[in-house]
Amino acid sequence: MTTNQWVQLLFFFGVLFALVKPLGLYMAGVYGDKPFWGEKWLGWLERLFYKLGGVNPKKEMDWKTYTLAMMLFSAVGGFLLYLQMRFQALLPLNPAGQSAVPPDLAFNTAISFITNTNWQFYGGETTMSYLTQMAGLAIHNFLSPVIGTATVVALIRGLVRKETKYLGNFWVDVVRGTVYLFLPMAVIFALVLVWQGCPQTFANTQNAALVEATSYDQPVTNSAGATVVGKDGKPQMTHTVVTEQPIALGPVASQEAIKMIGTNGGGFFNVNSAHPFENPTPLTDFLELLAILLIPAALCLTFGAMVGDLKQGWAVFAAMFLLLAPMVYLCGVCEQSGNPLLNKMTAATDGAALADGNMEGKEVRFGVVDSALWATITTATSNGSVNSMHDSFTPMGGFVPLWMIMLGEVVFGGVGSGLYGMLVFVILAVFIAGLMVGRTPEYLGKKIQAFEMKMASIVILIPPLLTLLCTAVAVATGGPGTNNPGAHGFSEILYGFASMSNNNGSAFAGLSADTLYNLMGGVAMWFGRFWLAIPTLAIAGSLARKKVVPAGAGTLPTHTPLFIVMLISTVIIVGALTFFPALALGPIVEHQKMVHP
Partner 1 sequence: MFKELATQFRMSVVFMVIFTVFCGLLYPGAITLLAQVVFPQQANGSLVTVNGKTVGSSLIGQPFDEPQYFWGRPSATSPFAYNAGNSSGSNLGPTNPAFLGSIKANVDAQRKANPDMAEKPVPMDLVTASGSGLDPHISPAGAEYQVARVSKARGLDPAKVRDLMAQNTQGRWLGFIGDPGVNVLKLNLALDALGGSK
CB of 575 to partner 1, least distance (A): 23
Give the span between the Cα atoms of 348 and 571, in whole angstroms: 45
194-233 positions binding partner 1, by CB under 8 A: 194-203, 205-212, 214-216, 218
CB distance 503 to 528 below 8 Å: yes
453-492 positions binding partner 1, by CB under 8 A: 483-489, 491
360-379 positions binding partner 1, by CB under 8 A: 360-367, 370-371
Nearest Cα to Cα of residue 259 among 167, 193, 347, 173:
193
Q: Of 194 and 432, which CB lies nearer to partner 1 in the complex structure?
A: 194
| Alpha-carbon distance values, 366 to 193, 274, 372 (Å) | 16, 9, 10
122-161 positions binding partner 1, by CB under 8 A: 123, 125-126, 134-136, 138-139, 142-143
CB of 583 to partner 1, least distance (A): 16
Q: Which of 18, 35, 37, 54 binds partner 1 (CB under 8 A)?
A: 54
Give the span between the Cα atoms of 458 and 453, in whole angstroms: 9
Binding status of residue 187 toward partner 1 by CB under 8 A: yes
CB distance 544 to 166 below 8 Å: yes
Binding status of residue 338 toward partner 1 by CB under 8 A: yes
CB of 457 to partner 1, least distance (A): 27
Binding status of residue 11 toward partner 1 by CB under 8 A: yes
Give the span between the Cα atoms of 265 and 374, in whole angstroms: 12
Binding status of residue 190 toward partner 1 by CB under 8 A: yes
Binding status of residue 174 toward partner 1 by CB under 8 A: yes
69-98 positions binding partner 1, by CB under 8 A: 69, 72-73, 75-77, 80
CB of 528 to partner 1, least distance (A): 21
538-557 positions binding partner 1, by CB under 8 A: none
Binding status of residue 266 toward partner 1 by CB under 8 A: no
Sign of CA dihedral 324, 326, 327, 328: positive
DSSP code of residue 227: B
Binding status of residue 53 toward partner 1 by CB under 8 A: yes
495-524 positions binding partner 1, by CB under 8 A: 508-510
Sign of CA dihedral 52, 57, 59, 64: positive
CB of 90 to partner 1, least distance (A): 17
Q: Which of 115, 116, 392, 570 binds partner 1 (CB under 8 A)?
A: 392
Amino acid identity of 184?
P
Q: Environment class of residue 495 by beta-carbon count within 10 Å: exposed (0-12), middle (13-18) or buried (19+)?
A: buried
Binding mask 276-295 toward partner 1 (x if CB under 8 A, else -) reads xx--xxxx-xx---------
Give the span between the Cα atoms of 33 and 82, in whole angstroms: 37
Give the span between the Cα atoms of 330 and 571, in whole angstroms: 19
Using CB under 8 A as the binding criterion, the count of chain residues that bind partner 1 stands at 133
Q: Is 503 left (phi over 0), alpha (psi -120 to 50) or beta?
A: left
Give the span between the Cα atoms of 393 and 339, in whole angstroms: 9
Binding status of residue 415 toward partner 1 by CB under 8 A: no
Across-strand partners of 242? Answer: 214
Binding status of residue 342 toward partner 1 by CB under 8 A: yes
